[in-house]
C-alpha cells in the first residue's frame, strides 16, 4: 500500500468512526473513542483533519457529497425550472425512505446541537454546507421560467427556500409526523414555492 493509499484508508476509517460516535454523543464525542474505533491514534486525527472541528466539518462534507452528486442525475438538463424543481422534490422525498434516513436525521439534529454549543464550529459548518449548495444553484441557473431565464442570484434564493422546505418536511416524514407527504405532495409544494415569482424575481441588479 502506498503512503497516499494508507492516508486515504485512515481518513475513511476515521470518518466512518466519527459518524457513529458524533451521531450518538454530539459535542460530547471523544476523539480517543473515534480513534480507537478506527484502530488509529488521536494523532492521526490531528494529522488528517487538524482538529475535532475539522473532523466534524469533513464528516458533514463526506456525508452530503454523494447526495449532491446524485441530484445532478435526478434532475437532467433540458427541463424548465418547474420541471427541475419537481424532479428535485421527488428525489428528496425518495431519500426519506432510504435505509440510513433515520441515522441521517440523528446526525442532522446532533450537528445543530453542536453548532449551538460551539459558534466557531457552527460557522465552519455553514460555510461547508453553502459550498455544497453551489451545486444546486448551478443546477437551477439558466433554466427557462415564464419566458425568461433563471439567474444565479434567483437560483440561490430558490435553493435557500427549497432547503428550508425540504428539511422540515423530511424531518416530519422520518419521524412519522407528516402523514400523506408523499412524492406528489413534495412536488406540489415545491412547484408552488417556485411559481411565486416574488420569491425569485428580486435579482441582484434590482436590490
Q: List CB contacts of 206: < 8 A, sequence separation 6 or more.
A: none
Mind listing the pLDDT tens digit for each residue in 50-84? 999 999 999 999 988 888 888 988 999 999 999 99
The 8-class DSSP code of residue 30 comes to: -
- Contact indicator for 140, 77 with CB cutoff of 8 Å: no
Grid cell in block for residue 163: 432547503
pLDDT class for 204, splitting at 50, 70, 90?
A: very low
Q: What is the pLDDT of residues 127-136, one digit of tens each?
A: 988 888 898 9
Q: How many other C-beta atoms are found inside a 10 Å radius of the C-beta of residue 88?
A: 24
Amino acid at each position: 500500500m502506498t503512503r497516499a493509499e494508507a492516508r486515504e484508508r485512515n481518513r475513511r476509517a476515521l470518518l466512518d468512526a466519527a459518524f457513529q460516535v458524533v451521531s450518538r454523543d454530539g459535542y460530547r464525542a471523544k476523539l480517543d473513542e473515534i480513534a480507537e474505533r478506527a484502530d488509529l491514534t488521536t494523532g492521526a486525527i490531528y494529522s488528517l483533519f487538524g482538529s475535532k472541528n475539522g473532523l466534524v466539518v469533513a464528516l458533514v462534507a463526506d456525508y452530503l457529497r454523494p447526495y449532491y452528486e446524485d441530484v445532478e442525475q435526478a434532475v437532467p438538463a433540458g427541463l424548465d425550472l418547474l420541471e427541475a424543481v419537481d424532479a428535485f422534490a421527488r428525489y428528496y422525498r425518495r431519500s426519506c425512505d432510504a435505509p440510513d434516513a433515520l441515522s441521517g436525521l440523528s446526525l442532522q439534529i446532533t450537528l445543530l446541537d453542536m453548532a449551538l454549543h460551539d459558534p466557531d464550529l457552527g460557522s465552519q459548518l455553514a460555510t461547508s454546507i453553502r459550498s455544497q449548495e453551489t451545486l444546486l444553484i448551478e443546477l437551477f441557473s439558466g433554466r427557462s421560467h415564464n419566458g425568461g431565464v433563471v439567474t444565479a442570484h434567483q437560483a440561490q434564493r430558490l435553493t435557500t427556500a427549497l432547503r428550508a422546505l425540504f428539511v422540515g418536511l423530511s424531518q416530519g416524514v422520518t419521524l412519522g409526523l407528516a402523514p400523506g407527504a408523499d412524492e406528489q405532495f413534495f412536488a406540489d409544494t415545491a412547484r408552488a414555492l417556485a411559481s411565486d415569482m416574488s420569491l425569485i424575481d428580486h435579482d441582484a441588479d434590482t436590490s
